[in-house]
Amino acid sequence: MSRLVLIRHAETGMAGHYCGHSDPDLNDWGRAQLPHLVQQLSGDSFTAVYSSDLRRAQSTARAIAEDQSIPQVSRPALREIHFGEWEGLRWEQIEQLDPQYAQKWMAAYPLLPAPGGETYTAFEARVIAEIGQLVKNEPGPIAVVTHAGVLRIVLQRLCGFSEQDAWQQTRPHCCVMRYEAKGETT
């Protein structure tokens, strides 16, 4: 049995923007969230902290790793979905740039990618494969610092959450979820 503690990174200055593979670091509020997150995790003892290779996840993971004196390992497969031409934009900007495609995208979500972006199918396969590797290779307990979209896939596919519940659980920055793999295949 593997135990993973899944954590959304702290806040960046791009909160409210489509920030998939964009690489901002934490803003002042995000840095202020870290001591609270570390305190919240003080009852856990991890063997390692795995994170997306993007700065917002790495900075969050580093705080946990330093507090527990454990290794921090970057994993590119834990990145958020790539939003292509929409990277860095707010929804209102997307609607103004191409209202027809924006409407089409909303109607077909998650089947239609952002222009030049990663498909949801590829994103989901990448995330499930990566979590499967962590479960298989790490008896844990481990911390996994990643992004809201990654966490939503784990909650829906592996924990049986509805799409709505997964969205609600992953909205706050620094949210923490626990996942116990009991030998199931991913």
Would you state the pLDDT for residue 138? Answer: 84
Q: Over the Cα atoms of the chain, what is R_g?
A: 16
Pairing of strands 48-51, 176-181: unpaired
The torsion of the CA quartet 142, 70, 13, 90, rounded to 10 degrees, works out to: -30
Question: In angstroms, rounded to a whole number, what is the distance separating the alpha carbons of residues 128 and 154?
Answer: 7
Query: Residue 186: which pLDDT band, with cuts at 50, 70 and 90?
Result: very low
Pairing of strands 142-146, 2-8: parallel
Question: In which region does residue 81 sit, left (phi positive, over 0), alpha (psi from -120 to 50) or beta (all else)?
Answer: beta
Class of CATH domain 2-181: alpha beta
- Which residues does 100 contact at the CB level (< 8 Å), separation at least 6? none
Tell me which residues are annotated as active site.
Answer: 9, 80
Pairing of strands 2-8, 176-181: antiparallel
Q: 24: cis peptide before it, omega within 30°?
A: no
Would you state the pLDDT for residue 1? Answer: 54
Q: For 26-57, what is each residue's pLDDT tens digit? A: 999 999 999 999 999 999 999 999 999 999 99
pLDDT of residue 185 exceeding 50, the answer is no
Q: For 120-177, what is each residue's pLDDT tens digit? A: 999 999 999 999 999 898 877 999 999 999 999 999 998 999 999 999 999 999 999 9
Task: Report phi then psi at 98, rounded to 5.
Answer: -155, 75
Cβ 128 vs Cβ 153: under 8 Å: yes
Share of the chain above pLDDT 90, in %: 88
Q: In what order do the strands lie in the sheet with 2-8?
A: 72-74, 48-51, 142-146, 2-8, 176-181
Domains in the chain: boundaries: 2-181
Q: How far is CA 181 from the centre of its chain?
A: 18
